[in-house]
């Protein structure tokens, strides 16, 4: 019986694949670090602030990035669900015309990317120390 040699390119591929699998497993299982903006985001939600947005909207992405991992605390309504670019019935019924749109407990609205200062003013939430 003849022994087959593993080529160096095959070995390199297997090692690279193992590294990628290891990195993915690490990222998927590492504990998430609470953001310093969590309390602010929670306060916005508790005070009735909602953000309406769309997955394809670059301004929505920027707004989400501003919060970092704390964005999970924001009440967010996706207006183009399922990867479509059509407006959901909920967003149409709310009269959402652009993204992002913040709607507050008093039914007032702010459109476009908003600063933490704008959101704090509208809700009475205390600004995070890093945002001041």
Q: How many CB atoms lie within 10 A of CB 52?
A: 25
Q: In the predicted model, is pLDDT for residue 31 greater than 50?
A: no
- The answer to whether position 55 is within a domain reads yes
Residue the block writes with tokens 């059509």: 86
- Number of domains present in the structure of the chain: 1
Average pLDDT of the segment spanning 110-116? 97
Instruction: Tell me if 2 is assigned to some domain.
Output: no
Pairing of strands 75-78, 50-53: parallel
Residue 112 has a pLDDT of: 97
Q: What CATH number corresponds to the domain at position 115?
A: 3.40.30.10
Flag whether pLDDT at 28 surpasses 80: no
12 in a structural domain: no
**Residue 103 within any structural domain of the chain:** yes
Residue ranges making up the domain that contains 124:
38-131
């Amino acid at each position: 019986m003849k022994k087959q040699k593993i080529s160096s390119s095959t070995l390199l591929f297997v090692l690279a694949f193992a590294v990628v699998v290891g990195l993915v497993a690490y990222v998927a299982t590492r504990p998430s670090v609470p953001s310093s903006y969590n309390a602010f985001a929670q306060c916005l939600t508790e005070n009735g602030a909602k953000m309406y947005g769309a997955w394809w909207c670059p301004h929505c992405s920027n707004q989400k990035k501003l919060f970092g991992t704390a964005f999970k605390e924001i009440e967010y309504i996706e207006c183009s669900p399922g990867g479509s670019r059509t407006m959901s019935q909920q967003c149409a019924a709310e009269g959402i015309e652009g993204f992002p749109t913040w709607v507050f407990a008093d039914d007032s609205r702010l459109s476009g990317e908003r600063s933490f200062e704008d959101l704090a003013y509208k809700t009475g939430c205390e600004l995070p120390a890093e945002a001041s």
